[in-house]
Structure 1
Amino acid sequence: MKHRVKVTVLDTLLYEDLQREYCQNPCSGKCPVYNKGDVFVFYREDGKDSFWQCGLNTLVSTNGNPAEVAGGSAKPFCSEAWDAISRYIYTGLQGGSIMKGWMKEENTMIACCSDGTRPVIFKIERIDVSE
């Protein structure tokens, strides 16, 4: 059995009060490289492994400009996001349980990047594919 991992951006949040108080640019706004609804698919097939390219070319759907979305053809995943979700992607690609005992389904995890003023919330799902 092959395994793919689908990553969906559930939300992009903004804490304006924290940006005003702590950021050099107090009006930085929401994350500029992800949009609510962005969908990415990771796979290890046909001699390709999208994990080891940090998500480059994994974008399959966006409401934004594909050239500006991290994970599109122009740039890999943001390092803060990648640090937060890559372990779940890797586990899913291996066919492992992403978060058994915590989430309702062991093939799913909800995680977010570590940007404290504009976090992005991701849903990571292992997809089992019959060969």
Structure 2
Amino acid sequence: MERMKARITVLKCMDNQRIQEEQRIGGHAGPCDAFEVGQTFDAGWQAPEGFCSFAWADIFNGLMMIQCGGSPDYIGPDHTMISCCRDGLCPVVFKIERLDQAC
């Protein structure tokens, strides 16, 4: 099957500041500042410009599955899935959907 482009939509930017404070962990506080809810990116072979490289690495396997036509149980019949980056303090939730356009 031909590899298709995918659209990545930011669904939620979470904030685990309470955990950060309770555990006395330093670093960034508050929601991720790399993304905004509703923001979309169309992805082909490479990460879209401005897309966080850590988030890209975290969602890459699912993205490839969507782009190449895979359909395990966690992928909807409309070739859509939900994924997230694994930053425990400020994770971002993404919707990934296959587009009808080749890479």
TM-score (norm 1): 0.65
**Alignment match, 2:43:** 42
The C-alpha deviation readout for 1:38-91, integer Å capped at 9, x for no partner, is 100012xxxxx4x2xxx142xxxxxxxxxxxx32xxxxx231x12221112223
Structure 2 counterpart SS, 1:127:
strand
Report how far residue 106 of structure 1 moved.
5.3
Q: Secondary structure at the match of 2:30?
A: coil
- Partners of 1:8 and 1:82 in 2: CA distance: 13
Distance 1:128 1:100, change over 3 A: farther
Which residue pairs with 2:34 in the alignment?
Answer: 33
**Corresponding position: 1:96 with 2:69:** yes
Given that 1:113 and 1:120 are in contact with CA atoms closer than 8 Å, whether structure 2 keeps it comes out as yes
1:121 aligns with 2:96: no
Higher relative contact order, chain-length normalized (CA < 8 Å, sep 6+) = 2
| 1:8-19 correspondence to structure 2 within 5 Å | 8-19=9-20
Runs of 5+ unmatched residues, structure 1: 44-48, 58-69, 72-76
Q: Which runs of at least 4 in structure 1 moved beyond 3 Å after TM superposition?
A: none
Identity of counterpart residues, as a percentage?
28
> What is the root-mean-square deviation in Å for CA atoms of aligned residues?
2.2
Which runs of 5 or more residues in structure 2 are unaligned? none
| Amino acid in structure 2 at the alignment position of 1:82 | W
Q: Residue 69 of structure 2 aligns to which amino acid in structure 1?
A: G
Q: Is the 8 A contact 1:8 1:123 kept in 2?
A: yes
